[in-house]
Amino acid sequence: MIYVHVPFCRSFCTYCDFYSERACPTEAYVDGVCREAFDRRDEIAATAAVNTLYIGGGTPSVLPLPYLARIADACGGRHYEEWTVEVNPDDITPEYARGLRELGVNRVSMGVQSLDDGMLRWMNRRHDADGARRAFRLLREAGFDNISVDVIFGVGGMSPEMLETTVRELLEWRPEHISAYQLSVEEGSALGRMAREGRYTELPDEACSEQYYLICRLLAAAGYEHYEISNWALPGHRAIHNSAYWTRKPYVGLGPGAHSLRVSVPPGIPLQRSSLRSSLPLRSACGPLPLTCPRVDTDPEAGRPDSADTFAASGGPSPTRGGSGGTPPVPLGAAALAAGVDSSSSCDVRSWNSEELSGWTATSEELTEEEIREERIMLGLRTAEGLPEYGRIPEEKWFVADDIISSLI
């Protein structure tokens, strides 16, 4: 079970604060990811029970097909039960769609977000509604029979009617999987700045709840099963990779910004809480660099992501729960140090969850039994099955699931 982070975007969406760079991918980035995969081949082998490869971002579809092929080969080949690549509709041409299929990609996740052109412009998406329609058609024509599409709700200025129009058309497309995410205001995003400056007002919780349950009703009527708070699938098309996250299966994250989960540790390899910061600027990170850095104090600015980060190991800006710092050096992933940014170009670069231009942060931690229990509850109760000892949260309460879960932990 492997996740590869591709941190390149041609433009930044209004709401996004995922780690990304407005730059073109280079051989240095691919070399770094491949080297990291080789260095961590034993970890990859230990996660083979879930035979998936997920290439996310950023915008993985900015990668030329030969780059994707090299990365897959370095990870162990091109034959996976589920190989997902995230794509932007604007990148899909007939040749690129066919090329993905010929590589062995068997699942595509496409960020549609909305089919209202005004809303797409506000989000600073590169595609318009017609572009999304065309991209979906091209993927079908290329032979993809497992396509996931994303939609966003809870946007200030988005009416229920606007959302319903988008969802009803998506249901006409009949994708195998649909993910719906409520817009959140993230500090490091353009939207975060707009909110701080009073140029954006969040939609009230009541209106967001109304939109969420509108999606629930429409998708249920169309035959989709609501198997996780934000995810729906036609029977037999649940996301294998993401489902493994929610059940805390071990996984390997490669590339800057990726997380890894090691459930069991071989004897003699102690895990310690630590946070390491490399001061290497991205633009000078393409040359030969050491794979470890001196110990430094925990970054007090770091926050905790939504995903499980038990032993968050891969090179890149991974936040930590806390810890005292001052621990022995932790290896930095090669891809984190070979940033893959063309130093000869005048490109804008930003660090993860920040408006600053900076280097990388790498962290690792060992969770206590209590923290593992909390992770298991937080993840397990997001699913339709729930947890045996706690039961399940019914769909009609999923909008307030975070409150319910927090009361249990």
Domain ranges of the chain: 50-246, 371-408
- Cβ atoms of residues 319 and 273 within 8 Å: no
Which of 351, 318, 352, 350 has the alpha carbon at shortest distance from 333? Answer: 318
Q: State the architecture of 50-246 in CATH terms.
A: 2-Layer Sandwich (3.30)
The confidence score (pLDDT) of residue 362 equals 55
Distance CA 133, CA 147 (A): 13
The confidence score (pLDDT) of residue 292 equals 27
Distance CA 66, CA 173 (A): 30
Give one DSSP letter per residue of 66-128, joined into a string: HHHHHHHHHHT-S--SEEEEEE-GGG--HHHHHHHHHHT--EEEEEEE-S-HHHHHHTT-S--
409 residues of the chain, pLDDT tens digit each: 999 999 888 777 777 777 777 767 778 889 989 998 998 999 999 999 999 999 998 889 999 999 999 999 999 999 999 999 999 999 999 999 999 999 999 999 999 999 999 989 988 888 899 999 999 999 999 999 999 999 999 998 899 999 999 999 999 999 999 999 988 777 777 777 888 888 888 889 999 999 999 999 999 999 999 999 999 999 999 999 999 999 999 999 998 888 888 876 554 444 332 222 222 222 222 222 222 222 222 222 222 233 333 333 333 322 222 222 222 222 223 333 333 333 333 333 333 434 444 444 557 788 888 999 999 999 999 999 999 999 999 999 999 998 899 888 8
The confidence score (pLDDT) of residue 332 equals 29
This prediction's pTM: 0.78
Beta bridge partners of 391: 387
Which residues, in sequence order, are CB contacts of 99 under 8 Å at separation 6+? 65
Q: Which amino acid is at 195?
A: A
12, 56, 81, 264, 386 from 108: Cα distances, Å? 21, 10, 13, 31, 27
The confidence score (pLDDT) of residue 172 equals 98
First vs last C-alpha separation in the chain: 28
The confidence score (pLDDT) of residue 76 equals 94
